[in-house]
Structure 1
């Protein structure tokens, strides 16, 4: 079973002064950087997912802007795979599934932004396609959500989605545990 690290949408618009700043995006990126280094040291596959918005009326991840670029803590190296997507699901209309199959990757360690959107939809899609997933909860970030007059804190949104993904769709672990796991 070959394992790959996925770094989903860790792009400047999700950080301070970006067009869609998330809560705790900087701490999450620092944790992702640790896992990136671990995977690099072990010569394990790394896949960076980059969202470029093509939807009319989009306000962030616009093509050819600073906001669409990868955040400095998670810059890909020249030998790491970059996959461009235009939807929350990293598999939808991308080469991700064929790349994973071609490289005999069946287990994914998933990190990135936004917990309630791109992380959730990608993990569920990966599960449906037969991949084993681990989501690293301190390597993800989200934002405050509202429904009707109710405001849900980013922490509660994050924890609710982590709890929903844990079990059937994935294992939800911490950076500390990932750094202790053998993946070879």
Structure 2
């Protein structure tokens, strides 16, 4: 009696969304196609529909150095209360996104102890005289080195919780794409649409969103999950430019309502 040989092909790939099936005799390049899950939000009255199954959330720079009273920005005299504003909206939105199978990527500063990955132009931004507390220097209160990978200063802001399934990417400049594996990770996740939140809205969030747009991703800025310590006209200019050139704007309540419908 003929017996059908069992399929012993093994998965090969770092992501369930992007893997081959292989054995000694065959290689299957077919990927499982997840059923589309459309979600519609509105931006200035225009309906924007995207596929939840092909979406990821990018959380930028929600770190102690930017959001904690004992962090770096507070030390140099910046009012960090605006930077803490997204914490509440994120606490509502991120669990719902995880439950819907949307990957969460924390894209944060995480520099080398020797700062060999940083240019003088970048170091100059917050230490223009060279005599202040700049990137990599110890904070006077805690001794934690500013935005150094593994330090309290660079850790995700107190008040926000991560999940073991979340993905963390260290960045070394305003945008989360240059010199990082972010694009490779997103392609392995097989996502087309990116949701953006974090701080500062007009700096690192915008730069990362712009680079995502340049690489061909569809971009939505989640307004209440973003903040900036810059003057309000910077926020308004960011919203204008995102809508005009780089994508769309939505908010957490609209996403939560849409997730219920899917």
TM over 0.5: yes
Which consecutive aligned stretches of 4+ in structure 1 deviate over 4 angstroms post-superposition? none
The 5-angstrom pairing of residues 140-179 of structure 1 reads: 140-144=226-230, 153=231, 155-179=232-256
The answer to whether the aligner puts 1:115 opposite 2:168 as a matched pair is no
Q: Using CA pairs under 8 Å that are at least 6 residues apart, name the structure with larger relative contact order, 1 or 2.
A: 1
Q: How many residues align?
A: 175
Matched residue, 1:18: 71
Larger radius of gyration: 2
SS at match of 2:193: strand
Structure having the higher helix fraction is 1
Change (3 A) 1:179 1:85: same
- TM-fit CA distance, 1:176: 1.3
TM-score (norm 2): 0.62
Shifted more, 47-56 versus 125-134: the winner is 47-56
Q: Is the 8 A contact 1:49 1:83 kept in 2?
A: yes
Gaps of 5+ in 2: 1-50, 75-79, 124-133, 138-145
- TM-fit CA distance, 1:74: 2.7
Shifted more, 162-171 versus 115-124: the winner is 162-171
SS at match of 2:235: helix
RMSD: 1.9
Gaps of 5+ in 1: 145-152
Matched residue, 1:9: 61
